[in-house]
Amino acid sequence: MKIIMLGAPGAGKGTQAKKLASKYNIPHISTGDIFRANIKNGTELGKKAKVYMDQGLLVPDELVVDLVVDRFKKPDCENGYVLDGFPRTIPQAEALDEGLGKNGDAVEYAIDVDVSDEDIIKRMAGRRACLNCGATYHIVNIPPIKEGICDVCGKPLVLREDDKPETVKKRLVVYHEQTQPLIEYYSKKGILKSVDGAKDMDETFHEIVQIIEG
């Protein structure tokens, strides 16, 4: 099963992608998480990506596509995956289609998690992230058991550098310009499904599962 999660920054792509990965036993591939891991480990890729990410800009396509294609080669991708944050531009989507098409393969669902810009700005200020394991929380909606500590790995939670309000606004502008056109792209292919991401996260998940299971 090959699923793409679409949606603005903070729409809940990561939250839903993790639940899907666990339900269908497929890997959750988040390009944002891969970049953050590279930044944390001080790699060359991480250094390059950080310059763009901290400004709320997209990392250039050429740094992203090879990374994802490489990830697909791992054995855990045999039965599919849920892509979170990739593709994010039309050239990335075309590269993905081309790569899969070579093996007669294609994405089955592009799920757009729809949330208004106003709701997103409110959400992001409350998000706390674990930079060690990638888990995310919300101080009001989805709090960790112990304040400021990750339930999964016990490391401290942080406000992501790019979740500061000014950067969130910039990310929304970039989203509308560069990523939103993918909605039409996948709609034309007949695989676009939209869900209401403003609902409770379990309700949104239920909507997605109904799409997949019919």
Residues forming the active site: 13, 88, 127, 160, 171
91 alpha-carbon distance from chain centroid: 17
Evaluated on CA atoms 57, 58, 59, 61, the torsion sign reads: negative
Q: Is the peptide bond before 9 cis (omega within 30 degrees of 0)?
A: no
* Positions in 24-53 near ligand AP5 (CB under 6 A): 30-32, 35, 52-53
Q: For ligand AP5, which is the closer residue by CB, 5 or 26? A: 5
Handedness of CA 154, 148, 143, 194 (dihedral sign): negative
Of 13, 19, 28, 50, the one binding ligand AP5 (CB under 6 A) is 13
Q: Please, what is the minimum distance in Å from the beta carbon of residue 134 to Mg ion?
A: 9
Q: If phi over 0 gives left and psi between -120 and 50 gives alpha, with beta otherwise, what is residue 134?
A: left
Burial tier of 46 (Cβ tally within 10 Å: 0-12, 13-18, 19+)? middle
Interaction residues for Mg ion, span 24-83 (CB under 5 A): none
Rule CB under 5 A: is residue 10 a binding residue for Mg ion? no
Q: How many CB atoms lie within 10 A of CB 44?
A: 8
Site string for ligand AP5, 125-164 (x = CB under 6 A): --x--------xxx--xx-------------------x--
The residue ranges that bind ligand AP5 (CB under 6 A) are 7, 9-15, 30-32, 35, 52-53, 57-59, 64, 85-86, 88, 92, 123, 127, 136-138, 141-142, 162, 171, 197, 199-201, 204
